[in-house]
Structure 1
Amino acid sequence: MDGLLALRIYQDIVGIIGILGNGLVCFVIFKVRSMQTRTNAFIFHQAVIDFLSSVVILLKSELLLPYPIQNGPLGWFICRLWFTNLTLFFFFALSTFNLLVLTMERYFAIVHPFKYQAAFITWPRLKVALTVVMCWILDLATKFYLLFYAKVEDGICVRNSIPGANIIGTLVVILQYVVPVAVMLFAYIRISVEMKRGAARVGPAPAQHLPGGANAPDMAESLLRARRNTFKMLLIVFITFLICWTPNQVIFFMFNLGINIKLNEWFYYLSVAMVATNSCVNPMIYAFKYRQFRNGLRQIFCKRFEQTNALE
């Protein structure tokens, strides 16, 4: 009981920090015009998802299941959407898909810049919006089976036996964890290699004076530093994602393989708490590692923003 109480308190803390932190990220990106870029559009979406996740975490920690649960729309919602953790893991997995999109956006911008620019010549905002919608559709497809995972029986929610549930669960792990991790790992390796090549090209270049006294190598180096800053920030986000998500997905994968693991043991609840933690840490990463976000904070709250520091 003490362990469950400690877990509940921890979830409350995670929920509150996540709501405040991600709300701040959304506010800064919305208010600061210079931050309204394609990359930051996906960061904004990430913050919205994590904000909603934090709200659900807090509600699930504080709201207990009623007894008895009545048949009807409310009972259907409580049992199939709330009891099964569908709502919670819907936002958790949506955050994963958005992180994948955010990573690939940086991958194409840095590794294939000409294709990237050509893709966004027409209707850039619409294409960003369609990408976001695709994340939601993919997430719904991987979570749809959970609607049939529980039922109301004698006024309580009980697990419902689904034919092929283990196969579906295994496919879900592959789609929401294995594939995104593999793709993102490949993308970060390729980005790292390309940025090293870019640094080598910028380094020995001769000075070419441009109007206004600027040098072409200086501008290229400033752009490279800005890209490197964003890359490092996203890499930390990815590593944090791996740390928070891996235990839960390994346990769930072993469960679906038929290994004698129960999903009501302390270690599973701890793994869910780790996934929940991922919803509140990203704003801290932005605050410490994302120069553009820190400048946005200064512009709003300190009113001493200096335009010359916009690029690293």
Structure 2
Amino acid sequence: MLTDDTRWSAASFLRIMYLIFGLIGLIGNGLVLFVFLRVRSLRTITNLFIGNQSLIDLVSSILLLVSKFRNENTNFEKLSRGYGVFVCLFWTSDYIYWALLVSSTTNLVFLTLERYIAVVMPIFYRMRVTWKTATISAIFPWVFGLIFELFWPAVHRLSDGNCYPDWRSGWIQAIVGIIIFVVEHIVPIVVMIVVYTGIVRKLRAKVGVHVQLNSKLDPDTGQPNETLQTNPSQGNLGLSTNGSQNQAGWKAKPALQSGEQQQQSMPQKPEDLSTEDRKPDLRQRVRSNVIKTLFLVAFVYIICWTPNQVIFLLYNLSLYDLDFNGAVYISGVSLAFCNMWINPFIYTFKYRKFQKGLRKVFCLGSSDTDDTLNTGTTLNTTQIHNKYA
């Protein structure tokens, strides 16, 4: 049995934890948005969705500071009936926060789909995905979250100065609980798994094609690789060694000395390549780093939100007697709150473009050779698409 002192200690601990979470989320997500706004090379469509994710988490952090750190006991008896009902339905119920959860999930799905289209359908991406369509797509999660979560204030009731959810029927609660779990958790997870699986397969296929094509091209001329034949009976595939045109239509290169052959057969090191030769490889590395970063964001989202979603589903199915002041509920919600402040740390330690932008904003050093891909990206939308698609 909990004593008043125990309850006070638990409440104080939670308020301190919420304060820390809120402050970290406020500072971290604010920093992400500041860097994206200050560094022109980071103003890409992908980063538009990443910035939108940070904006949602920033607003969630502010709400956490305001709603959880203050005294949560609202005296409804001192409020007028109409205003009291409004406060109960839209504030005490945490409707806005849960709506932002839906918005965050929806935006994360859009961010995942944006990368999928860019990698799997690059031509469609360059032709159809514009700043206008991306901006509309970034606004949609906010609207969808506010609309979808309207059921939550709808089931709340203010009676005798108490604000609480009143489902009125067990089967209605069960149906709504299943819909919530499927829409807010199962569908996003399935979409992200399918999409990232498709992205990985596509990238592996591109790497295989790139290696195969390089093996068939002459490193000097860029034409199909020619093998010097010593057997004249090989017909059209035989190449002369005097530089004349052969029967296959390709002009053979003069025979190389043994030293030249050994030097030409040695693979070129990355540092020996020119900037133009290295651009495709750099572009592939940039794309791969972005995808790895976003995959980690999606994975952390699943870890943070799964316990809370499962607990709420069991509660709605009447399979678990949930105490909204108990340790299980508080632990699940606290883990979910971690998701609002952890993404900036992922960007800082994993997302190389953000790292360079962070160094540029705070004058901590110059960017490396990958920045050669950034030239002019903010002046031409097509160039942005070509670089990050």
Q: TM-score, normalised by structure 2?
A: 0.74
* 1:4 and 2:11 matched: yes
1:288 to 328, 340, 349: 349
Of Structure 1 and Structure 2, which has the larger fraction of its residues in helix? 1
1:196 to 204, 229, 237: 204
In structure 1, how many angstroms separate the alpha carbons of the residues matched to 2:122 and 2:52? 23
- How much does 1:6 deviate? 2.2
In structure 1, how many angstroms separate the alpha carbons of the residues matched to 2:285 and 2:359? 20
Range that drifts further, 63-72 or 16-25: 63-72
In structure 2, the partner of 1:102 is 111
In structure 1, the partner of 2:305 is 245
Q: 1:87 to 1:209 in 2, by over 3 A?
A: farther
- How much does 1:93 deviate? 1.9
Match runs of 1:105-124 below 5 Å: 105-120=114-129, 124=130
- How much does 1:197 deviate? 1.7
**8 Å Cα contact 2:177/2:317 also seen in 1:** no
In structure 2, the partner of 1:78 is 87
Range that drifts further, 224-233 or 188-197: 188-197
In structure 2, the partner of 1:52 is 59
In structure 2, how many angstroms separate the alpha carbons of the residues matched to 1:244 and 1:102? 18
Q: 1:117 to 1:174 in 2, by over 3 A?
A: same
Secondary structure at the residue paired with 2:76? coil
- Listed as ranges, the gaps of 5+ residues in structure 2 are 1-6, 223-272, 374-389
- How much does 1:215 deviate? 4.7
In structure 2, the partner of 1:33 is 40
1:22 to 29, 49, 59: 29
Q: Which amino acid aligns with 1:271?
A: G
- Listed as ranges, the gaps of 5+ residues in structure 1 are none
In structure 2, the partner of 1:267 is 328
In structure 2, how many angstroms separate the alpha carbons of the residues matched to 1:299 and 1:131? 29
Decide which structure has the larger Cα Rg and report it: 2
**8 Å Cα contact 2:173/2:317 also seen in 1:** no
Q: Once superposed, what is the RMSD of the aligned Cα atoms? A: 2.1
Q: 1:184 to 1:208 in 2, by over 3 A?
A: farther
Q: 1:71 to 1:165 in 2, by over 3 A?
A: farther
Q: C-alpha deviations, 1:37-91, integer Å up to 9, x for none?
A: 0000001100100000111111122122321342345423321122212111111
In structure 1, the partner of 2:318 is 258
* 1:177 and 2:189 matched: no
Match runs of 1:97-246 below 5 Å: 97-120=106-129, 124-163=130-169, 164-204=172-212, 205=214, 206=217, 207=219, 213-216=274-277, 218-246=278-306
Q: Number of aligned residue pairs: give it.
A: 307
Q: TM-score, normalised by structure 1?
A: 0.91
Secondary structure at the residue paired with 1:302? coil
- How much does 1:193 deviate? 1.3
